[in-house]
Structure 1
Amino acid sequence: MKLLKTALGIAVGGAMFTLMGMQSKSPEMPPKDKTDQKVEKLLKKMTLEEKVGQMTQVTLEVISVGEGTAVASPHQLDEEKMRKMIVDYKVGSILNCAGMPHSKERWNEMISKMQEMATKQTRLGIPIIYGIDAIHGTNYTTGSTLFPQQVGLAATWNTELVEQAAELCAYETRASSIPWNFSPVLDLGIDPRWPRQWEGFGEDPYLSSEMGVAMVKGFEGDQLDKYHVASCLKHYIGYGAPQSGKDRTPAWIPERMMYELFVPAFKKAIDAGSRTIMINSGEVNGVPVHASHKLLTTLLRDELGFEGVAVTDWYDIWNLVERHHVAKDKKEAVKLAVLAGVDMSMVPYDVEFADLLIELVKEGTITEERIDLSVRRILKLKYELGLFENPVTNLADYKDFGSDKFIGIAKDAATESITLLKNNKNVLPLNKTAKVLVTGPNANSMRTLNGGWSYTWQGDRTDEFAKDKQTVLEAIQAKIGTENVLFEQGVQYVAGADYKTDEIVDINAVLDAADKADVILLCLGENSYTEKPGDLNDLTLSSNQIRLAQAAASTGTPVVLLLNEGRPRIINGFEGEMDAILQAFLPGNEGGVAIADILFGDANPSGKLPYTYPRNVNDLVPYYHKFSENLAHNDGNEYTDPFFNPQYEFGFGLSYTTFEYSDLKLAQKEINKNGELEVSIKLTNTGNREGKEVVQLYTTDLVASITPSVKRLKAFQKVALKAGESKTVTFSIPAKDLSFIGLENKPVLEEGTFKVTVGNLTEEFELVNSL
């Protein structure tokens, strides 16, 4: 691929970007197919106002009954406001849920009214495109199927299951007459302080790439029929690595590292056919991405080959004025963003964007040819989604919405995501006759099982809308009987600690109940959050929960710690006192049942960590660190501990059975730069029950011109084996996958010795120029 030769971003003069001469021109080429021909025919009929309207996206709030952004309850559409937006300003897109979930019937009713107005009361009858953040199922439609959040899906290491989950999400989103899903998140979760880490697929570029491709395939299918949606890759690019660890704060990413770590997942998802992309709200190397021609045009269009629609994130063109201070006013901000490469503005509260863009075109600052580029992309997306023929879907076509079949797949995903991190003396699985004390703030909460973007933005009303689902406590009671879930005087649940007060509720009650229990199930973690409300100043688990854990451990009763959290919170202060630890991540509505199945042995855990679980707050180092971060001094000087010493490593996860790796073989000990590395290994289930193991293949470049990582993930397979069964697992790694981004910011494939690691086995091979 053609690579940048200059620094990412654009030059800054004073408080403003210099963008003169950066406008793209309409491609001088004939339409490719019938859809392109339809687009061109329609485009020629459009006025400037109609074109700019297509580039404008507003939120549902602005066409709803209410004052300002405050929406009346129960929710109603405001006919006059809707007419202003759709008829007068010809807006091309509407998004969001107005702060509350709706039934699929209500969604169809609302969107039918919007589409009726757009197609019947405007000159050209162009349908709107409705977009929603359906990030773990159709989470703004009541009665839908909610899956694990993406970090949990990554922990399954099962791309087929992830593709299936995305396909079912697309089905239920289309049932709601919504054809555009702002998912998947491909931000690299390299910093656990970042409050959106759980929305992505973890810290590894390869795992993120494979999961992202699976999700795009699931959403979009082979074609965009009535059961599939347009996917939206977000948040392009570098959003997940803010220097402060806090949301929407600056990232400093050397260009070489941008290509090495952050580009691959977006590149693969683009190649897989994703039709839209959402822009990073933050800034990279001092340049807001919404104003970066280098990132939005040179890299995204020219190098990565993206041909679809680039939509802003919420309010982010105005943030060029208000947050970033690179534009003197809103008009300057519109100029910067559109010339950088924005196609559609998620304004989202007004139509000033449209007015200002029209002014910029009429005064000659932005050409109409530049507008045409964006409108072509938007119209093509609408044609491909079939919106001109069927702007609203038929509810009768979606009989499987919320079905037992869909719920079963969500449960499978939750079960495969749950990761067993510790199991001293095989305390798990528990006997169904055991007396279990269930305690902790996450034990009786659907909110904490689902996390943010669940029915509401912050997920704060999930217990209300998911009241027919089982919390961890309720699932355990259903599994072993209420009489076996103990607490004094017949009470079955002890909160122990509470998020509302951030205090111990009744620690003495926990201590008293422990005397009657065979085991304590301690349910700790985080409450729901996302974006800025999830910022924190200390990655350590909250002090009230640590006190509760220490109190539980002091009883002498075995303690099983259930972690239910969106990012790895530091547990080093009490981890050694826990007998077993399960990481549940954010498993969704079926998480309680899946957890109970694993606790009592009706399912065997098979999840693996998609990130490095840090031991200390200042040890936030990913697994692909450098050799200099891995070693300690052994000569009696002050450095005696390893520099890389996580609580749990990336890819780690235990099972109730055991697996043995043997017979690691390389088909060749030498491969050339155009060849492939053929690897095989024998995997045997040496335990007494069926289980699934993720076979992970890592390579290490032992000497390179850029300091190499200790190891990098290059392939994986999830394998199911019955007790005593063996299988030979094979991998084929193209030599080009051993390359890295060199000093000139280009891929480099160097000759030399490499190491392959699979399980506890390693082999070396030579990469040569020719054989």
Structure 2
Amino acid sequence: MKVLINILLLLLPAAIFAQGGKLNTVTEKKIDKLLASMTIQEKVGQMTQIAVESLLKTTSGHLVEPNELDLEKLTRCIKTYKVGSILNIGDRAQTIENWRQRIATIQQMALSERLKIPVLYGIDAIHGNNYTLNAVMFPQQIAQAATFNRELVKKGAAITAYETRASFIPWTFSPVLDLGRRPQWPRIYETFGEDPYLVSELGKAMVTGYQGNDAAIDKYHIAACLKHYMGYSMPLSGHDRTPAWIPERELREYFLPSFATAVKAGAKTVMVNSAEINGVPVHINKHILTDILKNELQFKGFALSDWQDIQFLYQRHHVAKDDKEAVMMAINAGIDMSMVPVDYTFCDDLVALVKEHKVTMARIDDAVRRILRVKIELGLFEDPIVSANNYPEFGSVVHQKANDEITAECITLLKNQNNLLPLTTGKKILVTGPAANSMRALNGGWSRKWQGDNSNETEQDKNTIYKAIQNVFGTANVDYAEGSRFTEQTDLGTTISKAKNADVIILCLGENSYAETPGNINDLTLPTAQIELATALKATGKPIVLILTEGRPRIVSAIEPYCEAVIQAYLPGNSGGNVLAGVLAGKINPSGKLPYTYPRYPNSLHNYYRKYTEELSIDVNAGYNPQWEFGYGLSYTSFKYSNLKLSRNKLTGDKPINITVDITNTGNYTGKEAVLLFVSDLVASITPEVKRLRGFEKISLDPGETKTVTFIIAASQLSFINNNLKRVTEPGDFMLSVGGLKTGFTYLPINKN
């Protein structure tokens, strides 16, 4: 059987990434008519986004639960300021009934206005419709990246879209297409990892799942929002929303491709990087926002600020003297909608700026046109309040089973000394560690609340790792002790005593939930309390299975030798406990592979696409010596790669090379394998990386079965950005590798002279 991998021309010149097709004439005429009849206040209102917290009823300064709209506040928002967009949840997840009532009330008031323009409501539905109670919560993006499976990512996004629309919400602030190459950064778990090609391919799959094929959004799909355009994920300090230094060559080589691919796939909206690059806040960077996004990529949707980031131009960045100047700078740079989010200063200042001719009406009309276009494409003018009867599968068994399927392919086996796993029946098991009996540790942030700190309550009907292991291995065979908390020691004596009576220890370490800036840390090493727990358990002499639930790769080099097996679970979501128990029992064969390089030391942080000068073979002090490399992951079965063949050994012009390789399951378990193709440029005018991922495919093999995987690679995939900021493919020799096999070929461009 042959599996064909159509490697897209990921790194073509920017113009190729334009959204396909011409603008819809009917839509544009409708927008023309609306613009001609709108006042300045109405136009500026469309460019304004207000947080729902400022529109809800309060008692003694606290939001009423369940949330209830304050109609006086809502009237001021919509009827006085003509606000066109609202976001957020209030304080915590609401029932689906409350969401429907909220959205219906907002839309009914908007439709009572003169022009009857519906409100565009947005929310961070980033791993399922996580802000609606009882909606499915999938693994976080970093875990989904470990599947290396486009179709599963697309399926999860399609279910998220369905369940978000079931709450009457048509817009999600997802996917995150930032490149997760700075492991200290607290938003690593929201990314698809460190590789530009992987992020691009899975980002495109997620956008398609959200928006539907060909971005033809219907009542079961929602608009995607690409975050955070661009370079947000590479702060020098590793801390959220702190300065980055990224030359434009690096921006175009590594950070732009994922956004360009998603724009080409038809993504409707973009959220802008909150931080600064090279001393310029991205919210005022016209080159990035207008020259590249809107002109080069021909993006037809709208660019949204992140939370309060226009105000932060003067409050934090100190590039503007006041709010009015900040608004002028951001709008003129290319921001189309301001997430203000809790007052109406933006409206007042922008109206004044237009009257003072400091922002042109042409710039206003362009922004409003883009916003209205998205609202029309979402069908909001025709059906702003969908029927609840359209969504019988919300939170259904079918959706839960899909979650199980996706989660099963996320789990990554990193070590399995002497085939300790899967565990044989009848063993006495001690489950311990701060993540062992915690739903917070499985779901992470953005889970029912921003910080995910109430998952133990909202998800109490789901199984923690400990409860799931009890269900699979039997209550009589499974014991539990907390061992330690995430950052502080508890009574070790009880834990050690129980460990001595066990045959095997399941040690669950990692991170508690966090999101954004509260997740900043100064040391990637696991907290001392957890290291001490692992050290004490090792002294018992019992075999240890280490399960890591973490949003980023925390340093475990001190305790990895103590453990016979290591499982990376990332943040696997509500199905995580059940799936992990299934993996331990051998009911699920792990097939995940690391979507990032797992560092061995806090001060040795490298990406797999390092340069040759970072190789230990060149300089023993160069530093590239990771705990586990990008793309690493074990299975309970074994795979043999053979017969790596090229259709020819010379690549000329635009005619691609076909690459085939056979993969055989030589073990005793049915297993899935992510087949990864890497290519190395051996000599280049810009120092080449040791290797780059250029293709991947996930296949399933029964014991003894062989499949042939075919890759197609063209000259464009060998290209890079040179010092003149031009994308070039230089003639010369290349080496490709897959599954440990290597072969070379030569690129010879066609001489047109």
Normalised to the residue count of structure 2, the TM-score between the two structures is: 0.96
1:693 pairs with 2:685 = no
- 8 Å contact kept, 1:279–1:311: yes
What secondary structure sits across from 1:497 in the alignment?
A: coil
What secondary structure sits across from 2:481 in the alignment?
A: coil
Map 1:631-642; keep pairs closer than 5 Å. Answer: 631-632=616-617, 640=620
Map 1:3-402; keep pairs closer than 5 Å. Answer: 32-66=24-58, 70-120=62-112, 122-222=113-213, 223-402=216-395
Counterpart in 1 of 2:8? Answer: none
For 1:150 and 1:55, locate their aligned partners in 2 and report how far apart those are by CA, in whole Å.
29
What secondary structure sits across from 2:146 in the alignment?
A: helix
Counterpart in 2 of 1:527? Answer: 512
1:753 pairs with 2:745 = no
Structure 1 residues 92, 67: CA separation in 2 closer, same or farther (over 3 Å shift)?
A: farther
Superposed CA offset, 1:162-204 (max 9, x none): 0000000000000000000000000000100000011000000
Superposed CA offset, 1:712-764 (max 9, x none): 00000111000010011110011111001011011011000000100111000
Superposed CA offset, 1:408-435 (max 9, x none): 1111111100000000000000123211
Map 1:582-621; keep pairs closer than 5 Å. Answer: 582-621=567-606
- 8 Å contact kept, 1:163–1:217: yes
- 8 Å contact kept, 2:13–2:727: no
- 8 Å contact kept, 2:154–2:206: yes
For 1:104 and 1:593, locate their aligned partners in 2 and report how far apart those are by CA, in whole Å.
26
- Displacement of 1:34 in angstroms is 1.1
For 2:532 and 2:712, locate their aligned partners in 1 and report how far apart those are by CA, in whole Å.
50
- 8 Å contact kept, 1:279–1:290: yes
- Displacement of 1:74 in angstroms is 3.6
For 2:651 and 2:376, locate their aligned partners in 1 and report how far apart those are by CA, in whole Å.
47
Structure 1 residues 173, 498: CA separation in 2 closer, same or farther (over 3 Å shift)?
A: same
- Displacement of 1:632 in angstroms is 4.2
- 8 Å contact kept, 1:141–1:455: yes
For 2:595 and 2:53, locate their aligned partners in 1 and report how far apart those are by CA, in whole Å.
37
What secondary structure sits across from 2:589 in the alignment?
A: coil
Could you tell me which amino acid in structure 1 is paired with residue 28 of structure 2? D
- Displacement of 1:3 in angstroms is 7.2
- Structure 1 stretches (4+) deviating beyond 6 angstroms? 1-4
For 2:679 and 2:374, locate their aligned partners in 1 and report how far apart those are by CA, in whole Å.
40
What secondary structure sits across from 1:326 in the alignment?
A: coil
Superposed CA offset, 1:454-478 (max 9, x none): 0000000011111111000111111
Map 1:500-515; keep pairs closer than 5 Å. Answer: 502-515=487-500
Unaligned runs of at least 5 residues, structure 1: 5-29, 487-492, 634-638
For 2:604 and 2:707, locate their aligned partners in 1 and report how far apart those are by CA, in whole Å.
38
Map 1:562-711; keep pairs closer than 5 Å. Answer: 562-632=547-617, 640=620, 643-711=623-691
- 8 Å contact kept, 1:3–1:746: no
Superposed CA offset, 1:70-98 (max 9, x none): 42334211010000001111100000001
What secondary structure sits across from 2:354 in the alignment?
A: helix
Equivalent residue in structure 2 for 1:743, among 723, 726, 735 = 723
Could you tell me which amino acid in structure 2 is paired with residue 581 of structure 1? V
- 8 Å contact kept, 1:31–1:40: no
For 1:131 and 1:723, locate their aligned partners in 2 and report how far apart those are by CA, in whole Å.
47
- 8 Å contact kept, 1:3–1:745: no
Superposed CA offset, 1:271-298 (max 9, x none): 0000000000000110000011011000
Could you tell me which amino acid in structure 2 is paired with residue 479 of structure 1? V
What secondary structure sits across from 1:207 in the alignment?
A: helix
For 2:289 and 2:242, locate their aligned partners in 1 and report how far apart those are by CA, in whole Å.
19
- 8 Å contact kept, 2:613–2:622: no
Structure 1 residues 642, 249: CA separation in 2 closer, same or farther (over 3 Å shift)?
A: closer
- Displacement of 1:368 in angstroms is 1.1
Once structures 1 and 2 are overlaid, which stretch shifts more, 62-71 or 144-153?
A: 62-71
Structure 1 residues 622, 115: CA separation in 2 closer, same or farther (over 3 Å shift)?
A: same
1:557 pairs with 2:548 = no
- Displacement of 1:31 in angstroms is 7.1
What secondary structure sits across from 2:603 in the alignment?
A: coil
For 1:470 and 1:652, locate their aligned partners in 2 and report how far apart those are by CA, in whole Å.
28
Could you tell me which amino acid in structure 1 is paired with residue 121 of structure 2? Y
Superposed CA offset, 1:474-524 (max 9, x none): 1111111111112xxxxxx2010113xx32212111211112111000000
For 2:61 and 2:192, locate their aligned partners in 1 and report how far apart those are by CA, in whole Å.
33
- 8 Å contact kept, 2:675–2:697: yes
What secondary structure sits across from 1:680 in the alignment?
A: strand
- 8 Å contact kept, 1:632–1:641: no
What secondary structure sits across from 1:114 in the alignment?
A: helix
For 1:392 and 1:480, locate their aligned partners in 2 and report how far apart those are by CA, in whole Å.
48
For 1:764 and 1:110, locate their aligned partners in 2 and report how far apart those are by CA, in whole Å.
61
Structure 1 residues 708, 217: CA separation in 2 closer, same or farther (over 3 Å shift)?
A: same
For 1:76 and 1:170, locate their aligned partners in 2 and report how far apart those are by CA, in whole Å.
24
Could you tell me which amino acid in structure 2 is paired with residue 767 of structure 1? Y
For 2:425 and 2:323, locate their aligned partners in 1 and report how far apart those are by CA, in whole Å.
64
For 1:287 and 1:174, locate their aligned partners in 2 and report how far apart those are by CA, in whole Å.
37
Counterpart in 2 of 1:490? Answer: none
Q: CA RMSD in A?
A: 1.4
For 1:79 and 1:379, locate their aligned partners in 2 and report how far apart those are by CA, in whole Å.
25
For 1:126 and 1:397, locate their aligned partners in 2 and report how far apart those are by CA, in whole Å.
23
Map 1:403-552; keep pairs closer than 5 Å. Answer: 403-486=396-479, 493-499=480-486, 502-552=487-537
For 1:279 and 1:259, locate their aligned partners in 2 and report how far apart those are by CA, in whole Å.
16
Could you tell me which amino acid in structure 2 is paired with residue 495 of structure 1? E
For 2:62 and 2:126, locate their aligned partners in 1 and report how far apart those are by CA, in whole Å.
25
- Displacement of 1:323 in angstroms is 0.8
Structure 1 residues 65, 225: CA separation in 2 closer, same or farther (over 3 Å shift)?
A: same
Counterpart in 1 of 2:3? Answer: none
For 2:726 and 2:247, locate their aligned partners in 1 and report how far apart those are by CA, in whole Å.
13
For 1:468 and 1:535, locate their aligned partners in 2 and report how far apart those are by CA, in whole Å.
31
For 2:109 and 2:739, locate their aligned partners in 1 and report how far apart those are by CA, in whole Å.
60
Superposed CA offset, 1:245-286 (max 9, x none): 000000100110100000000000000000000000000110
Could you tell me which amino acid in structure 2 is paired with residue 435 of structure 1? K
What secondary structure sits across from 2:696 in the alignment?
A: strand
- Displacement of 1:643 in angstroms is 2.4
For 1:655 and 1:404, locate their aligned partners in 2 and report how far apart those are by CA, in whole Å.
28
Could you tell me which amino acid in structure 2 is paired with residue 573 of structure 1? A
Equivalent residue in structure 2 for 1:729, among 684, 709, 715 = 709
Superposed CA offset, 1:56-78 (max 9, x none): 00000111112798423342110
What secondary structure sits across from 1:498 in the alignment?
A: coil
What secondary structure sits across from 1:317 in the alignment?
A: coil
What secondary structure sits across from 1:652 in the alignment?
A: coil
- 8 Å contact kept, 1:632–1:643: no
- Displacement of 1:2 in angstroms is 6.9
Unaligned runs of at least 5 residues, structure 2: 1-11, 16-21
Superposed CA offset, 1:650-693 (max 9, x none): 00000000000011101111011312121000100000110001
- 8 Å contact kept, 2:597–2:629: yes
